[in-house]
């Protein structure tokens, strides 16, 4: 009976081959586009409170509307000046 050869065997040992596969997988995922959440536009309908400082950031409470659905939230800012810029019609992502 004749032995059939299907090509050369890999020159890499099993552990080295596994390591190569693992490294190839890591590089594959590093070049893939990052997944992001879907965000929608929201517009301030009414400013409920003035800016106040909490946890080292400036916050402002607002009522908003997004795709016809009303809601309430707190917006966070780095400075008081940024928080004071929020008026009716201010656009943010939610």
Residue pLDDT, tens place only, 55-65? 999 999 999 99
pTM: 0.59
Query: Domain boundaries in the chain?
Result: 41-93
Length of the chain: 94
Residue pLDDT, tens place only, 23-48? 555 555 555 566 677 889 999 999 99
């Amino acid at each position: 009976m004749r032995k059939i050869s299907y090509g050369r065997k890999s020159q890499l040992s099993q552990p080295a081959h596994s390591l190569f596969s693992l490294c190839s997988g890591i590089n594959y995922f590093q070049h893939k586009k990052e997944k992001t959440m879907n965000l929608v536009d929201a517009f301030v309908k009414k400013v409920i409170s003035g800016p106040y400082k909490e946890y080292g950031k400036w916050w402002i409470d607002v009522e908003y509307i997004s795709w016809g659905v009303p809601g309430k939230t707190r917006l966070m800012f780095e400075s008081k000046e940024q928080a004071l810029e929020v008026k009716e019609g201010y656009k943010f992502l939610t």
